Structure 1
Amino acid sequence: MEKKLLFLMLLYTPFILLAQQDAWVYLKDKQDVANLVANPTTILTQKAIDRKNRHSIVIDARDVPVNETYILQLKAATGITVMAKSKWFNAVHVRGSEIDINNLLTSFSFVDHIEFADKSLNVSKKIQQKQQSKFEETLTTFNYGSSAPQIQMIKGDQLHLANYTGTGMTVAVLDGGFKNVNTMLGFQRLHDAGNVLGDYDFVKRDDDIYTNATDNHGTWVLSTMAGYLQDQYVGIAPDASYYLFVTEDDPTENPVEESYWVEAAERADSLGVDVINTSLGYSTYDNPNYSYTTADMNGNTAFITKGANIAFEKGMLIVTSAGNSGNAGVGAPADSPNVLTVGAVDPSGNYAFFSSVGSPIQPTQKPDVVAQGKSCAVITDNDVVITTADGTSFSSPIMAGGIACLWQALPNKTNAEIMQLVRESASQYSAPDYLLGYGIPDLQLALNSALSVDNNAGNNTINVFPNPVKDVVYFKLPTNENYVDVNIFNILGKHLSHAFITPTNNQIDVSSLSNGMYLIKLESVNTSKNIKVIKH
C-alpha cells in the first residue's frame, strides 16, 4: 500500500509543480533612498565602500535594500511564496498560481509589473538554459604536488613567487554544496588563517552549508582555489579570503536559482567582495516553458545575466564556467559581455571536447579564455583523497583564483582593466575563436605588461628592462640625465643594494637575489621614480 501511494504521489507531483508558476515582481520604489545613499555605512560594509571609492563606483539606489514592508505584504498574499529578493532589480521572486501572482498587480499599489518565467504568460513584457549546473564536473615557495600542472599552465606559480597568493583579496564562491569544508584537513590552512569570512545557503535560508550538505560540488570547486595539503596539493589562491554561498537547488531545475544567484551577488557586493566565481549555468528548466532559447543567450536577456551585468557595474569581477555543452553553446551568465567566461582545455592545452563553444549571438568573444578543465586535480569531500575531475566547473575557479592573485598585485586596476590584461596575455589573442576564445592566459605576462606600462607612464623616460629579470637588469637613461642613483629594496622595505647608473655604466647584476618582487628606487636631478621588478 505504501508503495502504491508513493507511486501515485510521484505521478501527481509534476502536475502540482506545473500548476505553480515562478515570476519576478518588480516594485515601484524603495524606502529612504536619499538618506541611505548619503550614509552608505548603513547599507554597505566599509570594505565595500572602500572598493567602490577606489574604482570610482557610484553608490546609488540599487545598493539600497528592498522595502521589507513590501516583502511582508507579498508574503501574506493568498497563494504566494516569496523565494528570493533583489535590491539591484528592486524585485521579489515569487511562486504561486498564475491567477494569484497576477492578483498582486491589482492588490498592491507598490507593484510596478510582473514578469513570469514562463514567457508565454507575459502579456506585454517577456523575460527570456540551464545547462547541467554542476559542469561535470610571506615569500612562499610551494610544493604544488598534484595541482602543479593546472597552476603552471596559466603561470600562477610565478605570481606566487612574487608573493601574490591572494592576500587581501576577497572571493565569493556561488555554487551547490560545500560538504565537509568545515572539518577537512584540506581546508585547515584556510580556517586557521580565518579566511572563511562567512557563508549562507540562499536556498534553505540558513548558514549551515556544511553538515546538511549533500552536494560536494562546491567543495571540489573551492579546493582548486583554497585547498592545501602539505607537499601534495595547493590551491591557486591559498591566501585569499572567501565567502561561501549556496545558490544551486540541486534536485530541481528552476529559474528561482537565478534569483538566488543575484541575491548572493548583491550580498557579495555589500560585503566588499572583489571576485565572484560561479561554476553554474542556466538555459533549460524542468518546466520547458521557463527555458531560454539559443537566441536568448545574447548577453542581456536572462535574469542572472542582467544581474551579472550590474555586478560588473558595481566593480566586482565575475568569472564563470562556459559550460559543458560543446556545440550546444554557452548558457547564462556566461553570455554576458561583462563576465570572464572560461572554457576548458586538457593538460596539453588542447580543446576539451565538452567545453561549450561561443557563437555570434553573444555580443563579445565567448569563451573569453580557457584554463585546464580536463583531468583537474581536486581535493574531494573525503578529505585527503585527491582525484581528477573534468569540467569547466574547475577551469573557472582556477582562473578566478589566478585573477585574485593578479589583482592583488595591481590593486589600482579596475575590474575591466584586469579582465583585459588577462585576455591580452592569452595565447591566441590576435586570432580568437569560439573554442578557446583568446586562448590560455599567461598571468605573469599580464602582470609584466601592466607594470611596464605603469613604469614608463608619464614624462619620465627612464626605462628598466627586462622585467622580469633573471641575472642582469639594464637602465636606459634619457638624454637629459647624466646619472641615476639606484637603490633596491625587498617588498618588506629592507634596503639590499645601491649603485650609480650612467649612460655607459647602465647595468646591475641581480643574480644573487632570491626569486620574488623587488622595488627599485631611481633618483636623479630630474627624476624620482619607483619601479617594481620581478626576479626569477
Structure 2
Amino acid sequence: MGLDRFTAFVPTATNRTYWILVIGLLICTASFGQNRKYLVLLRDKANSPYSISQPEKFLSQRSILRRQKQNIAVLERDLPVNPSYLTQLQQAGAKIWFQSRWLNAVLVETTDATLATIQKLSFVKGVEFGRSLANTRAGVSERSTSTNITNAASKFGEVTPLNYGLSQTQISQLGVDKMHQQGYHGEGILIGVLDAGFLNANKVSFLKPLFDENRVLATYDFVKKETSVYEDDSHGLSCLSAIAATADNQLYGTAYKASFVLLRTEDAATERQIEEANWLFGAEYADSVGVDVISSSLGYSEFDDPTTSYTYANMDGKTALSTRAAQIATETGMVVVAAAGNEGSDAWHYLSAPSDAASVLAIGAVTQTRQRALFSSFGPSADKRIKPDLAALGQGTVVGSPGGQIVQGNGTSFATPLVAGLVAGFWQANPRLTATQVTEALRRSGSQYNTPDDQLGYGIPNFELASTLAKSFTQLLIYPSPFSDEEPLRVQWGEIEANVPLDATLTSVAGKIVWQGRYLSSGMTSFMLPGPGLSAGVYILTLISGDKKRTTKVLKL
C-alpha cells in the first residue's frame, strides 16, 4: 500500500494488536536486510602464497629497509590475508572493503543474514567487538568544500583568525629553531598524516613548495575508498601546516622539508568505530610504503552510539582497536605521535585512544607560558602508565586554513604535528637511532622528566637536550626500569663491533636461565626481551659480545 494510505489508517481496538505485529515484523525484516560493516577476524594464515622470507611481495623496499636498520624481523602478522579466504568471503555474499595484515581481519559489508553464513566458515574466528562497526549509508553527506577550520570546533578544537604569525613560540619551545639552524628540516624522513581530510592542501600558498617539490608521495581516503583527499574536511590541512608550511614572517612547520603520505581515515561528520578500523588500515598502509613517523590528531573514547563507547578502564593500552593498531605500528619501527585529547575540562577528562598505547608518544597541550592548556586531557593510562608522554603548544598554535590564511588554533590536535616534525628532524640528525631510541630520547628530554605527572607527562621535549642524550645511546641503554608485559625490556648497545655476535642471557636471582638470545648487526644491536611468561621479580641480564661483557639487574612488574 502507498505511504499516504498507510499513515491515514486508524487502528481500532480489535485490529491494533495485528498492526503492531505487522509493523514490528517489517522493522525487523528491514534491519535484518540492512547492509552493515563488520571487521571479520580470521583464524590463521595457513597455506598463504606469501612468505616472511619474501617480504618484497607485500612491503615496499623502504619498509623492508626500515625494519632491517632496526633489527626488526618480518613476522607472520605482516603477511597479507590469505587470498583464498577473501575469495570465499566474496562467494558467501560479502563486499570486501579492506583487509588487515596485523589483525588478520577483513572489513566486509554485508547483511546480518549473510554474516550468519560467514561466521560458519571454518576459517572465520569471529567479529571484532561482536558487533557491526557501522551501518552502510547510501549517499553519505560530506562536508561542503566551503568548510573552514572553525567547523571542526566541537570535535577538534576551535580557531580564530590571526593577523600576523607568531610561530616563533611554538618552534622555540621545542628547540626546533636550533634544529633548523643545524640544517635539519626533515629531509629524507617520510611522515604519514592520518586525519579527516586535507581540504585545499594542494592549492594553498603556504604548502606550495611541498607540492612543487613532489614531496607528497601518496594519498588515500579510507572513508570513501578513493585516492583523493583534498576535498573533504580541513582539519588535516591545518595539522599538516604545523609540520610542512613555509610562509615567511608567518609560519614555518617543524619539518617543512620532510616528505608526506596523506591518509584520510576519519569521517568528521560522525564518531563511529568504523573510523578506528580506518585508522588501522591507514597505519598498515603507512607501514607498507615505508613511513617513518605517523602523526595522528585523532582520538576515540565516546561514540555516537553510547553503547559502543569506551570507559576509562578501556584506556589500558590493549583494548581499543586503534590502540592495538598503534602499538603494532611502533613495533614495525615507526614512531607514532598521537593527540592525547581535548577533554580536560569535560566529564570525560581522560586521554583517548590510540594515545594510551604503551609505545606511542601521546601529546598534551601547553600555552605560550608553558602551562597546561585547560582543555588538554589527563592521564595516566588505566593501567597507571605515564600519559601523556610529552606536550607542545596547543593553545594559540599558528596553523594554516583552507582559504590560505594563517590562523590560530586550539587543541592537542595542533600540538601533535609540532612534535611529529620534531621527531622527523631529530631522527634525521641521529639516523643510527631506532624508533624506540628516538621515542625514549625525546621523553628523557622532557622539561619535567624527573617529576612526570598526569597532566603533561614528561613535559615539553627539547631538540638539543635529546641530541645530547642520543650520544649515550651509542653505548648501552637498557629500559624501561621496571619493565612489564605492556612495556617489555629493550636493549640497545652501540659500542659493539660490526658482525660480532651478541649473546644475551636472562637468569633468575637463583641462577636459573629463563631466556637466551643471539644477535648479529652492523654495529648497533637493538632487541626486545619477551615479557609475557616472566613472573614479577628481579632478574640478572648478561650481555656478551667479543671481549665486551655487561651484567645488570632488571626488575619485572
TM-score range, shorter chain: 0.7 to 0.9
Whether 2:123 is the aligned partner of 1:101: answer: no
Whether 2:249 is the aligned partner of 1:231: answer: yes
Whether 2:91 is the aligned partner of 1:91: answer: no
Q: Distance in 1 between matches of 2:49 and 2:109?
A: 32
Counterpart contact for 1:26–1:90, Cα < 8 Å: yes
Counterpart contact for 2:32–2:113, Cα < 8 Å: no
- Partner in structure 2 of residue 195 of structure 1: 215
Deviation at 1:291, TM superposition (A): 1.4
Deviation at 1:458, TM superposition (A): 5.4
Counterpart contact for 1:136–1:324, Cα < 8 Å: no
Matches within 5 A, 1:147-166: 147-166=167-186
What percentage of residue pairs aligned between the two structures are identical?
Answer: 39
Q: Give the letter for the 2:351 counterpart.
A: V
Change (3 A) 1:20 1:34: closer
Aligned counterpart in structure 2 of residue 373 of structure 1, from 372, 378, 394: 394
Question: What's the secondary structure of 2:128's corresponding residue?
Answer: strand
Deviation at 1:29, TM superposition (A): 2.8
* CA deviation string 1:42-81 (max 9, x = no partner): 1111111111000011112222222344334434545x55
Counterpart contact for 1:119–1:289, Cα < 8 Å: no
Matches within 5 A, 1:135-534: 135-136=157-158, 146-210=166-230, 213-326=231-344, 328-359=349-380, 361-383=382-404, 385-451=405-471, 454=474
Q: For structure 2, list consecutive stretches of 5 or more residues without a partner in the other structure.
A: 5-26, 134-152, 477-493, 497-557
Deviation at 1:23, TM superposition (A): 3.3
Q: Give the letter for the 1:94 counterpart.
A: V
Deviation at 1:101, TM superposition (A): 2.4
Deviation at 1:436, TM superposition (A): 1.0
Q: Distance in 2 between matches of 1:206 and 1:234?
A: 30
- Partner in structure 2 of residue 507 of structure 1: none
Question: What's the secondary structure of 2:256's corresponding residue?
Answer: coil
* CA deviation string 1:190-226 (max 9, x = no partner): 112221111000111111111xx23100000000000
Counterpart contact for 1:21–1:117, Cα < 8 Å: no
Q: Give the letter for the 2:458 counterpart.
A: Y
Deviation at 1:31, TM superposition (A): 6.4
Question: What's the secondary structure of 1:41's corresponding residue?
Answer: helix
- Partner in structure 2 of residue 111 of structure 1: 124
Deviation at 1:454, TM superposition (A): 4.0
Q: Give the letter for the 1:109 counterpart.
A: S
- Partner in structure 1 of residue 506 of structure 2: none
Deviation at 1:133, TM superposition (A): 5.2
Question: What's the secondary structure of 2:450's corresponding residue?
Answer: coil
Counterpart contact for 1:186–1:379, Cα < 8 Å: yes
Total equivalences in the alignment: 427
Q: Give the letter for the 2:380 counterpart.
A: S
Report the RMSD for the aligned CA atoms in angstroms.
Answer: 2.8
Change (3 A) 1:16 1:435: farther
Change (3 A) 1:312 1:458: closer
* CA deviation string 1:298-355 (max 9, x = no partner): 1100111111111111111100000001152011101111100000001111110000
Q: Distance in 1 between matches of 2:39 and 2:158?
A: 30
Q: Give the letter for the 1:338 counterpart.
A: S
Change (3 A) 1:115 1:214: closer
Question: What's the secondary structure of 2:191's corresponding residue?
Answer: strand
Change (3 A) 1:168 1:410: same
Q: Distance in 1 between matches of 2:321 and 2:176?
A: 33
- Partner in structure 1 of residue 513 of structure 2: none
Q: For structure 1, list consecutive stretches of 5 or more residues without a partner in the other structure.
A: 5-11, 121-130, 138-143, 460-536
Q: Distance in 2 between matches of 1:363 and 1:86?
A: 30
Q: Distance in 2 between matches of 1:100 and 1:136?
A: 43
Question: What's the secondary structure of 1:173's corresponding residue?
Answer: strand
* CA deviation string 1:380-415 (max 9, x = no partner): 1111x1110100000000001111100111111111
Q: Give the letter for the 2:233 counterpart.
A: D
Q: Distance in 1 between matches of 2:110 and 2:158?
A: 32
Q: Distance in 2 between matches of 1:167 and 1:51?
A: 16
Q: Give the letter for the 1:194 counterpart.
A: N
Q: Which stretch of the first structure deviates more once superposed, 27-36 or 436-445?
A: 27-36
Question: What's the secondary structure of 2:338's corresponding residue?
Answer: strand
Q: Give the letter for the 1:319 counterpart.
A: V
Q: Distance in 2 between matches of 1:135 and 1:355?
A: 10
Change (3 A) 1:35 1:87: closer
TM-score (norm 2): 0.72
Q: Give the letter for the 2:189 counterpart.
A: M
* CA deviation string 1:94-149 (max 9, x = no partner): 3545454233111x2221222335499xxxxxxxxxx9753557xxxxxx953211
Q: Distance in 2 between matches of 1:223 and 1:300?
A: 31
- Partner in structure 1 of residue 40 of structure 2: 25
- Partner in structure 2 of residue 526 of structure 1: none
Q: Distance in 1 between matches of 2:354 and 2:212?
A: 34
Deviation at 1:250, TM superposition (A): 1.8
Q: Give the letter for the 1:184 counterpart.
A: V
Question: What's the secondary structure of 1:116's corresponding residue?
Answer: helix
Counterpart contact for 2:41–2:103, Cα < 8 Å: yes
Question: What's the secondary structure of 2:52's corresponding residue?
Answer: helix
